[in-house]
Amino acid sequence: MELKYSKKIEDESNVAKAMGTDINISPKHAIVICDKLAGMKLNDAISMLEAVIALEKSIPFKRFNKGIGHRAGSEEFKIGKYPQKSAYEFLKILRNLTANAEFKGLDTENLKIIHAAAHKGRSMKKIAPKGRWKRWVTQFVNIQIIAEEVE
């Protein structure tokens, strides 16, 4: 089965891809992190996500920012959060992307993320605890990241 990406690439000789499917994270956090990662160098993105996990740098929330407080870790946009669970899942996908690039023979120091997208995955109904009558719906996320080798 071939994985389908939302961005079409003509020349895939200097491109590495990675995908994560059915990840149990917030779709809004995934979209905001994808907005931040697009256009970054791969090593800078990995170090930024490690800083988010360590609560040293915040992710700017430019889209879903209603009721979110200001953070000191972001220089250009003060409204932000520290989505640690989402950053950890993105870090696993970026490390997978690095391994895919090394397998293809690409230089991992010169990789730039040209496409990062988060799409809603399947939703799963769960029984609420303690005899509640309402069901819980868990929304999963599919993440696609494409990096290109630049000089």
Give the model confidence (pLDDT) of 25-35 as tens digits: 999 999 999 99
pLDDT in tens, 28-79: 999 999 999 999 999 999 999 999 999 988 888 888 878 777 776 556 677 8
pLDDT in tens, 76-134: 677 888 899 999 999 999 999 999 999 999 999 999 999 999 999 999 988 888 877 88
Q: How far apart are CA 45 and CA 38, in angstroms?
A: 9
Per-domain residue ranges for the chain? 17-149
Q: Are strands 80-81 and 59-60 parallel, antiparallel or unpaired?
A: antiparallel
> Which CATH number applies to 17-149?
3.90.470.10
SS3 for 41? strand
Q: Bridge partners of 116?
A: 145
Q: How far apart are CA 71 and CA 51, in angstroms?
A: 14
Number of H helices, E strands in the chain: 3, 5
Is 70 exceeded by the pLDDT of residue 2?
no
SS3 for 7? coil
Q: How far apart are CA 86 and CA 45, in angstroms?
A: 14
Q: How far apart are CA 146 and CA 16, in angstroms?
A: 6
pTM of the predicted model as reported, rounded to 2 decimal places = 0.88
